[in-house]
Amino acid sequence: MQPTQEASAENRSERPLGHAVALVTGSSRGIGRAIAARLAALGAAVAICGRDSETLNQASAELTKFGARVFAHVADVTLRADVEALVAKTEAALGPVSIVVNNAGIGVFGPTHEKSEEDWDKVINTNLKSMFLMSKAVVPAMIARNGGDIVNISSLAGLNAFAGGGIYCASKWGVQGLSACMAEDLRTYGIRVSTVCPGSVATEFSGSGPKDASKVLSANDVAHAVEMIVTQGPRSFVSQVQIRPLSKPAKS
C-alpha cells in the first residue's frame, strides 16, 4: 500500500536529509562527531574521516545506531591525494556528496614570535588549506548538479583578536575570507558556503586549559547550528552563524 501524503510529509519532516550524502572532516571526536551524529539522525548518509582508526571506528559504530549508511576512512585532509581519495571513495560507497562540513582543526597558542615555522604550517594547513583542498574536490560535481552545502567551522577567533592567538586567529580569519569569497563565486550555481563561528566549546580542543562546562558551549550546540544551515529553505542563504555561551565566565 502506498503511504498517504500526510505520512510522507511527516517522514520528510522527521528525516529531512533522507536523500543527502554528507562528508564531515575531523569527525572521529568532539564537534565533528556531534555534527556527523546530528546529520545521521536527520537521515543523511554520512562519511567521516580522521587520522586515528580506532576512534574513527568507534564513531562509525555510533552513527550506525541512527540507521544511517556510514563510510569511515582514515585520511589526512592537509594532503591533496588523501582528500581526493576520500571524496572518490565516499561517492563510490554512498553516492554524490551534497553536504560538506569542513570541521578538522587544531590550535597552537602563545605569543606568535615564540612559535615555530612548523607550528605555523601545522595550524594553517589543518585549519585553512584543508578547506581549500576539500572544496576543490567537491565543487565541480556540485556545480554540475546545481546545488550543495559547504559548511566551514570557523570560530569567534576568526572575528576577534586575543593575546596568544596569533597563528590560530590567522587561520580562522583566513577561513572567514575564503568562505565569503567562495560564497560569492558559487551562489549562482545554487551552492551555499556558510561559516559557523563558535565561542569556547567543551571538548578536548582547548586553547587555555580546562573550562567551566556551565560557561561554555557543547559540541551539540555547534551541531544544532549546522542542522539549521543544511535544513533551511531552498531560497534562503544563512551565510554565517555566531554562537556564544549564554553565561559569561567571571572576570578574574
**Interior/surface letters 163-200, b for 16+ CB within 10 angstroms, e for the rest:** ebbbbbbbbbbbbbebbeebbeebeeeebbbbbbbbbb
Which residue among the candidates 168, 173, 186, 241 is catalytic per the annotation?
168
The partner residues of 70 in beta bridges, in order of sequence, read: 46
CA distance 192 to 99: 10
CA distance 143 to 133: 16
DSSP 56: H
Residue 168 known to be catalytic:
yes
Burial of 76 (0-12, 13-18, 19+ CB in 10 A): middle
Which residues participate in catalysis according to the annotation? 168
